Amino acid sequence: MSHPVIFDRMLLKINRDRAATSLDDFDFLLECAVQRLTDRLLDFRRRFNLILNLGGRTGLIDNFWPKELPKPTLIHTDISEKMAARALSIGPALVCDEELLPFSPESLDAVISCLSLHWVNDLPGVFQQIRRVLKPDGLLLTSMFGGKTLFELRESLNLAEIEIKGGISPRVSPFANLQDLAHLLQRAGLALPVADTDTIIVKYDNIFELIQNLRGMGETNTIIERSRQPPPRELFVRAGELYAQKFGDGNNRIPATFEILTGTGWAPHASQQTPLIPGSGKIHFSKVLDT
């Protein structure tokens, strides 16, 4: 069964290539997300020797590896050759499309992916590939932007474009929601799937600073059905006015919401806990309550 093609992966590569040289100036959100994700590793009393950092840009994860844990071998990958080249300076790295994993079955102890898989067209297929390359009882730990991300920007641009052009074209990417992520982890056959959500709100001086930061992270629009016409500056000027009116904080700054979904799942293994079959319990609930 074919999957829908929503994102222009070649444009994503171009955006990432463009952002590679100056990412250090705009990576504060990425750093925050990476640190929160790697902190999750402290919850698992496991040692991972070989980990794939999937869509890892310049290898930021290396800077935020928990000091309490032994350092594994990290293989950094990115769709951008320039991002992967920067990651190569700190460890093994290669150019790799997240939708086509070139790794042998059961070869990795863990796969970690921070804020990259929201650009994937075939997310169910990617999760299935990840399960395939994980060793039994191997870990998938991933975060991606969720549906509330940049809702202020989306609404402001839509309202401005309706005013100016009488219609809208997609300018902010669609994102998965928490239920989608939980379902996809389970659908891929990963055991003990868990999904949760967190929110980071970043303040900007204006809409142009926000867009500059998105461009600096390589996170601008790659929707296939986007308008190919250069947007007029007046569109962003008006969107900025509406943004400030509807969402401004009263101190001449605007908030931008980034919802971050985090998911974990494990390649199946006989040692893992499994839920009991309904009706198989040996002790009646009333005895537990002593009634």
Asked if the structure places residue 2 within a domain, the reply is no
Question: For residue 126, what are the contacts with CB-CB under 8 A and spacing of at least 6?
Answer: 98, 99, 101, 117, 120
Quote the pLDDT of residue 288. Answer: 46
Closest CA to 138 of 272, 39, 273: 272
- Record the tokens describing residue 21, joined without a space: 């040289």
Quote the pLDDT of residue 138. Answer: 98
Q: How many domains does the chain have?
A: 1
Asked if the structure places residue 275 within a domain, the reply is no
- Record the tokens describing residue 67, joined without a space: 């000091």
Asked if the structure places residue 194 within a domain, the reply is yes
- Domain carrying residue 195: 9-268
The CATH number given to whatever domain includes residue 34 is 3.40.50.150
Closest CA to 61 of 115, 105, 13: 115
Query: What pTM was estimated for this model as a whole?
Result: 0.90
Quote the pLDDT of residue 283. Answer: 56
Asked if the structure places residue 286 within a domain, the reply is no
Asked if the structure places residue 289 within a domain, the reply is no
Quote the pLDDT of residue 46. Answer: 86
pLDDT in tens, the chain (291 residues): 578 899 999 999 999 999 999 999 999 999 999 999 999 999 998 899 999 999 999 999 999 999 999 999 999 999 999 999 999 999 999 999 999 999 999 999 999 999 999 999 999 999 999 999 999 999 999 999 999 999 999 999 999 999 999 988 888 988 999 999 999 999 999 999 999 999 999 999 999 999 999 999 999 999 998 888 888 899 999 999 999 999 999 899 999 999 999 999 999 988 876 655 555 555 554 554 555
Asked if the structure places residue 204 within a domain, the reply is yes
Asked if the structure places residue 46 within a domain, the reply is yes
Quote the pLDDT of residue 120. Answer: 97
Asked if the structure places residue 166 within a domain, the reply is yes
Question: For residue 223, what are the contacts with CB-CB under 8 A and spacing of at least 6?
Answer: 6, 7, 8, 170, 171, 173, 174
